[in-house]
Structure 1
Amino acid sequence: MVLQLCFLVQLGQTEAKVSAVIVFGDSSVDAGNNDYIHTIGRSNFPPYGRDFYGGKATGRFCNGRLSTDFISEAFGLKPVIPAYLDPAYTIKDFATGVTFASAGTGLDNVTSDLVSVIPFWKEMEYFKEYKRNLTKFMGACKTDELLREALYILSIGTNDFLENYYQVPIRSSHYTVDQYENFLLDLMKNFVLDIYKLGARKIALTSFTAFGCLPLVRTTNLFQGRACREDYNKVARELNVKLNTLIINLNKELKGIQVVYSGVYDTLMNAIQKPSSYGFEDVADGCCGTGLFETAFLCNKWEKKTCKDANKYIFWDSIHYSEKMNKVVSDHAMKNAFAPFL
């Protein structure tokens, strides 16, 4: 009888909206999980969050909201996706959206170990715990329905190169760049297979950004006048070609799944090349401090050089987007990658 009831609910479910936005990844989508672990990779202090609701520094690496917050709002859900480890929220709050992301983490376990943050496999364990708690809260049938109609967003991978491969010899001494790219994509494939088994069907894999153009990377490129590092961007483009192939294969192999490619590389490059089209004035520096290297604890309230108007900047600090750029990213995603779910 229970199985029949669940079947009837499935037939009545529309495909027009998503039930929740469930997020995995790194600092690009961490809403404050790192606030509750022992790490220096935090941003729960001013001037972070100065343009957020109430001027609160929540642990988002931004002056305001993240792209996933805007995406949630665009789907008619809440305007802010809470961090799973934040004790201020309950399973009822998490039922329509939650992020398991951790700033500084990567697909590769070595990456998270280097900066003592939540490893990617642990994010998956939190999701399993979340599913168990949802089942207790609303029952197995409604939980299965919610998870099937939720949108899952994965935004991760930059740290695997910037913190790991290019900085320490653990991986670079054993893998060529091409081999390491394949290693990371295999981990991403395993992630999709795992959440598919747990009920996920609508999945967005965020592309690798043009990390050669991050202000911190530009700062190390002094001999070329702080230009974008083309060798880094070439790796990102190679990864994105492979990611597209992975997505095509997953859609062929897994019944009922819909995996989409959420492209941020081109979005960032368009903003850098045509800043006036978006209202940006500075494409190479972060708003915080000098904009050359400040992030995390180096971006603080004692830094007097922080800009007055972050809306003129693509980047908030030396790595992360400003709230305005996050809105640009989310708008592009809603019009393109997420169009099938509207």
Structure 2
Amino acid sequence: MNAAEGLGIKNIVPAYRSPFLQPNDILTGVSFASGGSGLDPMTARIQGVIWVPDQLNDFKAYIAKLNSITGDEEKTRSIISNAVFVISAGNNDIAITYFTNPARNTRYTIFSYTDLMVSWTQSFIKELYNLGARKFAIMGTLPLGCLPGASNALGGLCLEPANVVARLFNRKLANEVNNLNSMLPGSRSIYVDMYNPLLELVKNPLKSGFTSPTRPCCCAPAAPIPCLDASRYVFWDIGHPSEKAYQTIIPPIIQQIQQSFA
């Protein structure tokens, strides 16, 4: 289940760059995301994916396409202002770029780097606001130290220093979301906690029907072949929760979005 499905809009949100995109997709919502990207330009370069500001350029092109479909700038503005912009950025900046790249971890302390990440987020939201967006659901990072890529090095125990950094960024991001509400007239921003719901699955897996809280179903060096029943695993691979994990944690998030933007 994704947010659009949970909100009753459509089951799949297609990629904006998909060659199979249809006019109705433009009218009802698309995804500008690029897997592995981040707020930091270095994150996108390392992964070879589309940087967040370049995704913003895609959104500008989307507005032009939307205008051509509606034939009415007022209707276009209405669609954009009533749309919910779900934003998730920061996981890869911390887990990949900061912790593994001397160009970042020798130049910045984790305090100054997370400040920089929040600043990048603020600039991104302001750009969207200036283009007509008014409703923002901004997701915090996952418990990065519990991802199998980190926890497997400790025999399945969460790597607490990585979780400390994730919590630090999330706290700063939540505060910034409150600032955005007073800074951007007529807008509504909410902070979506992704950290604690996933951490709960890791700490108490049996409660939700999981038997493997930190061992991934797929693609670990010791187990390159996917498991037979992914629904028993909290994580699909070393860096991503399983579909069942997301299905478990997303209903309260959907409810939060519905109540916030009703």
Q: TM-score range by the shorter chain?
A: over 0.9
Change (3 A) 1:292 1:274: farther
Structure 1 residue 84, shift from structure 2 partner = 1.1
Partner deviation per Cα, 1:155-180 (whole Å, 9 max, x = no partner): 11111122211111111121110000
User: Is residue 164 from structure 1 mapped to residue 84 from structure 2 by the alignment?
Assistant: no
Within a 5 Å distance, the mapping from 1:1-12 to structure 2 comes to none
The answer for unaligned runs of 5 or more in structure 2 is: none
Instruction: Name the structure 1 match of 2:14.
Output: 82
Instruction: Name the structure 2 match of 1:101.
Output: 33
Greater percentage in helix: 2
Quick one: which of 169, 183, 208 aligns to 1:239? 169
Q: Which one-letter code corresponds to 1:324 in the other structure? A: K
Quick one: which of 55, 65, 75 aligns to 1:123? 55
Structure 1 residue 98, shift from structure 2 partner = 0.8
Q: Which one-letter code corresponds to 1:336 in the other structure? A: Q
* Equivalent position SS for 1:282: coil
TM-score (norm 2): 0.95
* Contact persistence 1:154–1:205 (CA under 8 A): yes
Change (3 A) 1:229 1:292: farther
User: Is residue 218 from structure 1 mapped to residue 138 from structure 2 by the alignment?
Assistant: no
Change (3 A) 1:338 1:213: farther
| Count of equivalent residues | 261
Partner deviation per Cα, 1:30-49 (whole Å, 9 max, x = no partner): xxxxxxxxxxxxxxxxxxxx
Instruction: Name the structure 2 match of 1:256.
Output: 186
Quick one: which of 174, 196, 204 aligns to 1:274? 204
Q: Percent identity between the aligned chains? A: 33
Structure 1 residue 338, shift from structure 2 partner = 3.9
User: Is residue 287 from structure 1 mapped to residue 231 from structure 2 by the alignment?
Assistant: no
User: Is residue 341 from structure 1 mapped to residue 261 from structure 2 by the alignment?
Assistant: yes
Segment drifting more, 119-128 vs 92-101: 92-101
* Contact persistence 1:212–1:233 (CA under 8 A): yes
* Equivalent position SS for 2:190: strand
Quick one: which of 129, 137, 148 aligns to 2:69? 137
Name the CA distance, whole Å, in 2 between partners of 1:182 and 1:157. Answer: 12
Instruction: Name the structure 1 match of 2:46.
Output: 114
Q: Which one-letter code corresponds to 1:244 in the other structure? A: A
Instruction: Name the structure 2 match of 1:49.
Output: none
* Contact persistence 1:107–1:156 (CA under 8 A): yes
TM-score (norm 1): 0.73
* Contact persistence 1:267–1:332 (CA under 8 A): no
The 4+ residue runs of structure 1 with deviation greater than 3 A are 291-294
Instruction: Name the structure 2 match of 1:313.
Output: 233
* Equivalent position SS for 1:203: strand
* Coordinate RMSD, CA, aligned: 1.5
Q: Which one-letter code corresponds to 1:173 in the other structure? A: T
Structure 1 residue 208, shift from structure 2 partner = 1.2
Structure 1 residue 132, shift from structure 2 partner = 0.8
Partner deviation per Cα, 1:30-86 (whole Å, 9 max, x = no partner): xxxxxxxxxxxxxxxxxxxxxxxxxxxxxxxxxxxxxxx521112121111101111
Name the CA distance, whole Å, in 1 between partners of 2:69 and 2:256. Answer: 34
User: Is residue 151 from structure 1 mapped to residue 71 from structure 2 by the alignment?
Assistant: no
Name the CA distance, whole Å, in 1 between partners of 2:17 and 2:6. Answer: 24
* Contact persistence 1:293–1:318 (CA under 8 A): no
Partner deviation per Cα, 1:238-265 (whole Å, 9 max, x = no partner): 1111111101111112111100011110
Q: Which one-letter code corresponds to 1:329 in the other structure? A: I
